[in-house]
């Protein structure tokens, strides 16, 4: 059986200086008509053992306006063959200062079966609404 682990989720709104990401590094042509920009997305898959596969995900999203809030995708799917060991979301303000940090205990566990009685797909999701 394969086991999947989501190690890191990184959500960013406007500026990110602490991690080396900046909204100023995005060309003006890309930000003119957009709501959000994916600054970085890294997926590492470690399949050194045939019975265990580890997946680490890092995703950095700059939200440029209110309409971009739906683009951050603060969830991770899993099922009986996989699990989420660690999941985290960090929220930054316009100056790059961390204002919120969410860990696995802050995420909600919901069923994702879509009406099927034969599968047990689940998801961890963060219900976050910015208050700026």
> Residues 56-107: pLDDT tens digits?
998 888 888 888 888 888 889 998 888 899 999 988 776 667 888 999 999 9
Global pTM value: 0.70
> Residues 64-74: pLDDT tens digits?
888 888 888 88
> Residues 20-52: pLDDT tens digits?
667 777 788 888 889 988 888 999 999 988 888
Q: Could you state, in order of their start, the residue ranges of all structural domains in the chain?
A: 23-125
> Residues 117-131: pLDDT tens digits?
677 889 999 988 887
| Adjacent-strand bridge partners of 100 | 91
């Amino acid at each position: 059986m394969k086991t999947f682990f989501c190690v890191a989720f990184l959500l960013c709104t406007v500026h990110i200086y602490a991690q080396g990401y900046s909204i100023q590094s995005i060309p003006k042509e890309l930000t003119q008509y957009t709501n959000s920009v994916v600054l970085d997305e890294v997926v590492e898959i470690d399949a050194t053992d045939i019975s265990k596969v580890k997946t680490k995900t890092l995703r950095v999203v700059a939200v440029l306006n209110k309409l971009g809030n739906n683009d951050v995708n603060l969830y991770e799917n899993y099922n009986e063959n996989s699990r989420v060991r660690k999941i985290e979301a960090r929220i930054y303000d316009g100056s790059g200062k961390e204002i919120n940090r969410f860990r696995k205990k802050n995420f909600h566990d919901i069923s994702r079966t879509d009406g099927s009685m034969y599968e047990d797909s689940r998801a961890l999701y963060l219900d976050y609404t910015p208050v700026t």
